[in-house]
Structure 1
Amino acid sequence: MKILIISQYWAPENGVPQRRWSWLTGILEEQGHLVTVIAPPPHYNRSPSLGEWWKSGSFRARTEHETINHAETVVRTGFFPAGRSLTQRILNQAAVAAAALWVIGKKPGVLRNYQPDLIIGSVPALPTSVVTYIASKRFKAPYVIDLRDAWPDLISEHERWNSGLGDPSFREKVLSRGPVQVLGFVTKWAMNYSLRESDGLIVTSSLLGKALKERFDEQQKSVDKPISVIRNVFPPEINQRVSEHEERSADCLNVLYAGTLGRAQNLTNAIRAVARTGEGGYQVNLRFVGAGAARQELVRLAKDLNVKVEFSSKLAADELAEQYKWADTALVHLTDWPALEQAVPSKTYELMNLGIHISAVASGETMELIEALEAGHVVAPESPEALAQLWMKLIDEPRLLDVSTVGAKWVAEERVNVAPREFLRMIDNFETD
């Protein structure tokens, strides 16, 4: 089959969406499918200045063949430089979506006589679902939406998106008085429409798949609409258990958070928990490795609470492996938005694969998986006291930090057998004789 993938994130950029689709593209190509991609060039990890952007001609489309890891053809769209603020991200995603629509409408170069058998749109970014719907009309082909998070339900939490970022800016105050609500309503309606009209859905958690099926049943839109659960169990950058752990101290706990310092995490909760352990006479050493919109507020809060917290930028795989050896436990952290009960951070699977004890602040499916697979301990979101009590208990009873191999074996089975089988079963629905 000829399969067209539409995404705003693609290799060689290194992130969860990119790694997920490098893995899935490999599965498709192993079965003989021909993959063509519409995506912007790498620009999220290093956002160029407006001058660099203009001089490089990054607003123009171009075609790439034979990428580093796979043989897909990539049509690179134009883009507008991204930023960390919500406003800049919305502008970037809108610009990339508009550029993708131009490519779809114009069908330049390799797309001139191209006719896909199936179109897959990867969300996020949010506009991709609408772009995919329009592409299905342009190419007269069925389409599937790969819904990586609990969208569009997360849009309902827009009033709390910046709750962990400190005091709102003047721009945020102005936009929140009407424009954000209107944009949120339109985006949610458009996404729901594109999901309802899709010929199939791919989700990353069973709870999200169940919720969508129930929603479509109520709307009588679920007839013959396949929904596949394909978890974020793509091959990790560090692919072996951390066996050479540094000797544990009897009177402290080393806690590592490696991931996005973002809105959905609200990691101020973890810093407040460290402060509470100090008040109880315990020592918790917390390290953040990563970047995100909340970093500045986390640094400020740690200083205000007089809590020693280490911050490091995103590290290469070999450097991150050293951090894992240092850690007694790794933190998986989500805030208390109801939609996040249907989400499972991809870091959860990586930590299970490595055999590192997980201190999880979560509910819903993340909680269920960690507890069922004996991968660590879970406390409720937005309760610094509960997290502090867990960490103090781990110091008092260090044997609790030992985890079984159940989680690692389950992740391996999902990656090697379950996910590929479910993915190809979805693709087979659109095979023609």
Structure 2
Amino acid sequence: MRSGYVPGGSSITKKVLNQLAVAAGGLYVIFRRRGALADFEPEIVIGTVPALPTALVTAVSAWRFKAPYIIDLRDAWPELLTVSDRWNASTGRPSLRQRLLTKGPLQVAIKATDVWLDRILQHSAAVISTSSYLADDLQRRTSQGRRTYTVRNVFPPETLISKHVDVSGSSDQLNVLYAGTLGRAQNLFNALLAAQEAERLGVRVHLRFVGAGAAKQELMQSADRLGIDAVFEQRRGADLLEECYEWADTALVHLTDWAPLANAVPSKTYELMDQGLHISGVVAGETADIISTLQAGDVVEPENPQALAQLWVDLARDRSRLQVPRKGAEWVHQQRESAAPATLLECVEWVYWVHSRRN
């Protein structure tokens, strides 16, 4: 059912207004006495939370329909609230509105959000996370009787390539692709500095950024100022990325050094593993462990451009390292076909069983 909304934008303020408006629209739909929900009697309510107000709508909906609810976390909430002072670090100089809001109102709102989100999670019947690290962390802090489950973002691939990387000999050139969000949590300025350092070490890195995000304009200006060989393209659908993957020697999965991001796994990681494309991982925590354990690429720590530059230099001079085994793709396939659906079914059945016993 469609609900009312206010158009969003790239700034945090506009995103908050959009999410609050969507939440208000959702609550209006839920409490209407007429319409499709008039005689609706759900057995379980599930709220997917990339937008935090959705958690509140979920809890209120469950109360309205007298049903248990499941919170499906798409990001490392509520931990990401603890680094709110760094959210705009990669987007350039903050606006006057942002500077005024951060002098008190934002901190109050974030603290209040942290408190009610924690309460909502505590009273949920179950929590689904895309990261096993986050699921385990939430389980340790949970109240008795609530379970956490990991259902990974292993979507079926829309792009199929037959990648044949030239892995012979050495080179002084390397094609690096980044396809995804150019946003706050990525801080891709680090990659520009790495490309600059790699060129000083004798390897020309050709960077290709495909996507959109709050930091894109600042990145374009920085690349031009530093003289980096970087191309910026509009976001493409997954089915239109084939040419990009064929062009790339390695693909970049990049997060900044915020501690909560150790409990987040970008879905692009699984897509690249599925394609058998070498990953240059600038990540920590679970993403780093997955890439390393499954030999899907190489990993360096976030916010260390020298380490990333050295990795790219090493890959160019020993191109055999660009060849990755099939074990990563096989693991993703197993997660998609077996683990994810089985875990989701287990979660829903357990919540239904517990609620049925209580009634």
> What's the TM-score bracket when you normalise by the shorter of the two chains?
over 0.9
Per-residue Cα deviation, 1:32-89 (whole angstroms, up to 9, x for no partner):
xxxxxxxxxxxxxxxxxxxxxxxxxxxxxxxxxxxxxxxxxxx111111111111100
User: How many Å apart are 1:224 and its aligned residue?
Assistant: 2.2
> Any idea what SS the aligned residue of 2:241 has?
helix
How is 1:59-138 mapped onto 2 (pairs within 5 angstroms)? 75-138=1-64
Aligned twin of 1:4 = none
Give the deviation of 1:247 after TM superposition. 8.9
Matched residue, 1:410: 331
Match of 2:122 in 1: 196
Number of aligned residue pairs: 353
Which one-letter code corresponds to 1:115 in the other structure?
Answer: E
Asked whether the 8 Å contact 2:198–2:309 carries over to 1, the reply is: yes
Aligned to 1:176: 102
| Aligned residue identity for 1:345 | P
Alpha-carbon separation, structure 2, partners of 1:169 and 1:101: 32
Q: Distance in 1 between matches of 2:239 and 2:50?
A: 28
Change (3 A) 1:368 1:247: closer
Q: Distance in 2 between matches of 1:242 and 1:160?
A: 40
Structure-2 residue corresponding to 1:206: 132
Structure 1 residue aligned with 2:162, among 242, 265, 283?
242
Q: Where does residue 188 of structure 2 map in the other structure?
A: 267
C-alpha distance in 2, partners of 1:88/1:361?
A: 29
Contact persistence 1:93–1:127 (CA under 8 A)? yes
Q: Which amino acid aligns with 1:172?
A: Q
Q: CA deviation at 1:346?
A: 0.1
Contact kept in structure 2, 1:246 and 1:325, CA below 8 Å: no
User: RCO greater where, 1 or 2, for CA within 8 Å and sep 6 or more?
Assistant: 2
Q: Which residue pairs with 1:380 in the alignment?
A: 301
2:320 is matched with which residue? 399
Amino acid paired to 1:312: E
Could you tell me how far apart the structure 2 residues matched to 1:108 and 1:163 are?
Answer: 47
Distance 1:172 1:109 in 2: 40
Residues 275 and 244 (structure 1), Cα distance of their counterparts in 2 relative to 1, 3 Å cut: same
Residue deviations 1:395-419, cap 9 Å, x none?
A: 1110000000000000000000011
Contact kept? 1:344, 1:365, Cα under 8 Å: yes
Letter of the 2:151 counterpart: I
1:346 maps to amino acid: S
Report the Cα distance in structure 2 between the residues aligned to 1:361 and 1:108, rounded to whole angstroms: 51
Distance 1:107 1:378 in 2: 54
> What is the correspondence of 1:320-335 to structure 2 with a 5 Å cutoff?
320-335=241-256
Q: Secondary structure at the match of 1:104?
A: helix
Structure 1: which 5+ runs fail to align? 1-74
CA deviation after TM superposition for structure 1 residue 201, in Å: 0.7
- Equivalent residue letter for 1:243: K
- 1:228 has 2:154 as partner: no
Return the alpha-carbon distance in structure 2 between the equivalents of residues 187 and 427 of structure 1. 27
Matched letter for residue 334 of structure 1: L
Please report the TM-score for the alignment, with normalisation by the length of structure 1.
0.80
- 1:188 and 1:331 map into 2 onto residues whose CA distance is 32
Q: Distance in 2 between the 1:306 and 1:245 partners? A: 27
Q: Secondary structure at the match of 1:423?
A: helix
Q: Matched residues in 1 for 2:184 and 2:166: separation?
A: 32
SS at match of 1:111: coil
Cα distance in 2 between the residues matched to 1:340 and 1:310: 27
Aligned to 2:298, the other structure's residue is in SS state: strand
Correspondence list, 1:334-349, <5 A = 334-349=255-270
> Residues 188-230 of structure 1: CA distance to partner in whole angstroms, max 9, x if unpaired?
11111100010111011110011101112xxxx1x22121110
CA RMSD of aligned residues (A): 1.4
Local SS of the residue matching 2:187: coil
Aligned-residue sequence identity (percent) comes to: 49
**Aligned amino acid, residue 338 of structure 1:** A
Q: Is the partner of 2:324 in helix, strand or coil?
A: coil
Is contact 1:241–1:353 with CA below 8 Å preserved after alignment? no
Distance in 1 between residues matched to 2:238 and 2:347, nearest whole Å: 32
Counterpart CA distance in 2 for 1:242 and 1:333 is 24
SS, match of residue 36 in structure 2? helix
Alignment TM-score, normalising by the size of structure 2: 0.96
